[in-house]
Amino acid sequence: MSSPDSLENAVGLMATLDNEGKKVIQELLSQEAAASEFTSQMHKYTSMCWDKCITTPGNSFSRTETDCLQNCVNRFFDAQKHIIDSLLSDRKN
Amino acid sequence: MSSFFGTPSSPPPPPPSRDPDAVKKISAAILHQNAIAKSQTFLNIAGDKCFLKCVTKPGRALTSAEETCLARCGQRYMEAFDMVSRTVTTRARQEVNNSNMD
């Protein structure tokens, strides 16, 4: 791959960066790492809720499917909270 | 004659030649690479999900019904991903607002 975007080129260029430039790239890398962590969480929720809500994928989502996907995400977070709350209250009693 | 190891007073080695667009080029390469990785991950997952949903009893070849299902499924999976992401973002924002009120 010899596009100007290629990683080999970028690695070579890294050595030529001054401190200011290194800081910019480091910041971009940690932003991108956070974004990809977010994306992988979204994949987890999508996968879970897709399995629960979609039986046969049609031409477009039905109202029921849309509602189910949204409810699925919200109830998942409710469930997380509930589990944590109940575990914490068990410890107190 | 200067020693090979240099002396404290010897001038520092010249910096490697600077490309004024280095930061821009490296950033573009990183973003480009991540975009590729992102779509590969998406296609892998959607491929698995849609195979499970659409090819329930694998035969000698894909039927046209299965092919139709696979095409739709890819579209719907993308839609589901966007919808889930939006729902999570909304929910997260609500949680932040609620915790600020406490």
List pLDDT tens digits, range B70-100.
Answer: 999 999 999 999 999 999 999 999 999 988 8
Which residue from A24, A30, A63, A65 is spatially nearest to A46, judged by alpha carbons? A65
| Cβ-defined contact of A10 to B77 (cutoff 8 Å) | no
b/e map of A10-43 (b: 16 or more CB within 10 Å)?
A: beebeeebeeebeebbeebeeebeeeeeebeebb
Write the DSSP string, A24-90.
Answer: HHHHHHHHHHHHHHHHHHHHHHHHHHHHHH-SS--SS--HHHHHHHHHHHHHHHHHHHHHHHHHHHH
User: What is this model's ipTM?
Assistant: 0.85
Contact A45, B84 (CB under 8 A): yes
| Cβ-defined contact of A28 to B27 (cutoff 8 Å) | yes
The domain made up of B21-101 has a fold known as: Helix Hairpins (1.10.287)
Q: Is B91 on the interface with A (CB under 8 A)?
A: yes
- Domain coordinates in residue numbering, chain A: 4-92
State the smallest CA–CA distance between residue B65 and chain A in angstroms: 12
User: Which pTM does this prediction carry?
Assistant: 0.81
Q: Which CATH architecture has domain A4-92?
A: Orthogonal Bundle (1.10)
Lowest mean pLDDT among A5-14, B11-20, B33-42, B63-72: B11-20
State the smallest CA–CA distance between residue B8 and chain A in angstroms: 23
Selection from A48-57, B4-13, B16-25 with the highest mean pLDDT: A48-57
Residue B16's pLDDT is 57
Q: Which residues of B touch A4 (CB under 8 A)?
A: 25, 28
